[in-house]
Structure 1
Amino acid sequence: MTFHEMNPTLKFLTVTCLMFGLAFMYNPWTPLLVFTGTLLLQTLFADVSWRRWGLYMIPFLLTAIGTLWTTLVFGREAGGAVVFTLFGNDVTEENVRLAVTLALRVLAFTALSLLFTLTTDPKRFVYSLMQQGKLSPKIAYSVFVGFRFFPILKSELIQLYETHALRGVRLETRLDHVRHVPKLLIPLLAGSIRQAERIAFSMEARGFTGERRSTYEVVPVTRNDFVLAACLVLLFVVSMWVGIR
């Protein structure tokens, strides 16, 4: 029983509801407990590289620090005793409380988002949206084609660089590669159009009309999915109860 095996649609709805509910909590304890509880659940029920998680967390950590700083410096003066003075502004207890709450909320949102992102296979998520969320196959397969295009574009870009290098173009440093990008855009765009036409003809030849059809890969909803969803909901309820007290 792991978050990797959890039904993606149910996981998405659960995480979205938690984030929506968290937006209405104006105390620092609720987002703090949601953040730490999410990390605990991720440790117990997921196999995630913490090094990768930490790298993804860096920009959001900076965002949380920036939110804390700007709320303290530029926030509207609220009631309560003055804690300290910052750049001529009196920072009250209520200002500190609000700043810490907003910063912790950013971290809690990020932890929940990373829990979903790092434990969800995009292909399985789209299949689940078609089967449980009744997503239109036209939209679903358009998303699949978009995912398919990324490695194709990367491969074609490498081929173009290698072709130009064989023709004597100096591409020794990263700066040379960046400067050469505008000369690659037109052939890359032409190649993308050709690939799109081939994919469209291929889908039409295989009878794709956008109507409902049987799927080879079935993404079920199991009892373990509801157990993991209940763990997340229980975490939010406990965090909300502690914050309100």
Structure 2
Amino acid sequence: MTFHEMNPTIKFLTVTLLMFGLAFMYNPWTPLAVFIGTLILQILFSNVNWKRWGLFMIPFLFTALGTLWTTLVFGKEAGGEVMFTLFGKDLTVENVMLASTLSLRVLAFTALSLLFTLTTDPKRFVYSLMQQGKLSPKIAYSVFVGFRFFPILKRELMQLYETHALRGVPLESRLDYIRHVPSLIIPLLAGSIRQAERIAFSMEARGFTGEPRATYEVVAITRYDFLLASILIVLFGVSVWIGI
């Protein structure tokens, strides 16, 4: 059993619960333990592309460093033992602990978010929300249509670029492609409206009314879902104990 096979609704609720609890922890050791523990669990119970994981982590790593820097430099001065001086400002133990807590909390939130995002199929997640979360089919199938529109818009955009290139528009570099975007907005918007009308007529012709309906793909809840959820909760409990 891996996080990829875990019921998405159970996984979402568990990760959300951990994030909510982590927001009330005011020591750096708890978020650090959650971050490291989440990485270990992801190694043991998932099969993610770690290069992709690292690329997703880069902007949040800069965010954590920025949080650490701004809290240290512009944070409110606190009394206590002075650890060191930065740009003429005395930084106490409390200042450093607060800055470390906030920056490590960013990394812990990111690790938990990537655990959910990289191990969850969006289609299966929406099916699970309909079946276990009682999500309205109108909302669920609207999300499905939104997912379907992304590849459609990408294909139509490339077709427009190719059409304009055949008509003599110079598209030799990436900068030419970027400069040409404004002239493609209106035809791309018109094509999107036509696609939306076709999808609406197609769903109406197939009897879609928004009422609850039978589902071919059943996303069940198994004992392994609760086992993995329990492991995550135990990780959080151990992290809290470490921070005490």
TM category (shorter chain) comes to over 0.9
Distance in 2 (alpha carbons) for counterparts of 1:65 and 1:13: 29
TM-score by length of 2: 0.99
1:217 equivalent to 2:217? Answer: yes
1:150 equivalent to 2:150? Answer: yes
1:68 equivalent to 2:68? Answer: yes
TM-score by length of 1: 0.99
Q: What displacement does 1:79 show?
A: 2.2
The runs of 4+ residues in structure 1 deviating greater than 3 Å are: none
1:16-165 to structure 2, matched below 5 A, reads 16-165=16-165
Distance in 1 (alpha carbons) for counterparts of 2:78 and 2:20: 26
Distance in 2 (alpha carbons) for counterparts of 1:19 and 1:83: 30
Q: What displacement does 1:89 show?
A: 1.3
Which position in structure 2 is the counterpart of 1:170? 170
Q: Deviations over 1:164-213 (max 9, x none)?
A: 00000000011100110000000000000000000000000000000000
Secondary structure of the corresponding residue to residue 218 of structure 1: coil
Identity %: 82
Q: What displacement does 1:83 show?
A: 1.1
Q: How many residues align?
A: 244
**Which AA in structure 2 matches 1:221?**
I
Distance in 2 (alpha carbons) for counterparts of 1:83 and 1:33: 24
For the aligned residues, what is the CA RMSD?
Answer: 0.5
Distance in 1 (alpha carbons) for counterparts of 2:52 and 2:105: 21
1:183 equivalent to 2:175? Answer: no
Structure 1: 5+ residue stretches without partners: none
Q: Deviations over 1:82-140 (max 9, x none)?
A: 11111221110100011111110000000000000000000000000000000000000
Structure 2: 5+ residue stretches without partners: none
**Which AA in structure 2 matches 1:135?**
L
**Which AA in structure 2 matches 1:99?**
A
Distance in 1 (alpha carbons) for counterparts of 2:4 and 2:230: 16
**Which AA in structure 1 matches 2:179?**
R
**Which AA in structure 2 matches 1:200?**
A
1:7 equivalent to 2:16? Answer: no
